[in-house]
Chain A
Amino acid sequence: QKEVEQNSGPLSVPEGAIASLNCTYSDRGSQSFFWYRQYSGKSPELIMSIYSNGDKEDGRFTAQLNKASQYVSLLIRDSQPSDSATYLCAVRTAGNQFYFGTGTSLTVIP
């Protein structure tokens, strides 16, 4: 079992819709959770971090964490073509190990 799992996609949504990206992790003691956005040919860029159960909102982005279910998600409201990228989920475990998922490719169709 991988430490962090994501659906590879591709996920396609129309412009203006909500994009939902999901991630599960295996280490129940994990403390910190991150979403990175990676445009094609570029490096990963941190866009959201979440540390406690519930929702965290930042502009059009909402991160959701459910530690009991070992589940992290990212919602992108009012999706724009500029949101088209690969989204990487990352988890920092209690042992200070850092694991990335393989990423979900998102395409927002104008």
Chain B
Amino acid sequence: DAGVIQSPRHEVTEMGQEVTLRCKPISGHDYLFWYRQTMMRGLELLIYFNNNVPIDDSGMPEDRFSAKMPNASFSTLKIQPSEPRDSAVYFCASSSHGGAFGYTFGSGTRLTVV
């Protein structure tokens, strides 16, 4: 299994631009999570999906953030417009059984907004 695949690995963009982060979960996993990690705040859950349906988006910081999961093998996290304070590492993770046995994380996308 290739694990959770995220793209791009690094993204540098100018303030105000749209950014799209992509994730392919492990085949057969029915839960998908988007996290953001910064030195100051650690790992923060942004949103998670179960069977492609968004279950909890209370961690999405504001309307500039949106996430979709059009099918079981693909999800996107979009930031529009981006701001310097959005600079962070964004992780996608997937699991089965609601995370009862833990998550598998992707390699992350390091986002820098200048």
Contact = CB atoms under 8 A, between A and B. Distances in A.
B102 A49 contact: yes
A46 B99 contact: no
A96 interface: yes
B107 A42 contact: yes
A100 B42 contact: yes
Nearest to B105: A43
B105 A44 contact: yes
- Is the interface on chain A under 10, 10 to 19, 20 to 34, or 35 or more residues? 10 to 19
A34 B99 CA distance: 10
Given A45-B105, A92-B99, A98 B42 contact: no
Nearest to B91: A43
Contacts of A34: 102
A32 B100 contact: yes
Interface in A4-22: none
B103 interface: yes
Interface string A43-59: 11110010000000000
Interface of A: 31-32, 34, 36, 42-46, 49, 88, 90, 92, 96, 98, 100-103
> Closest 8 CB pairs between A and B?
A102-B42, A43-B105, A100-B43, A46-B102, A34-B102, A44-B105, A43-B108, A43-B107
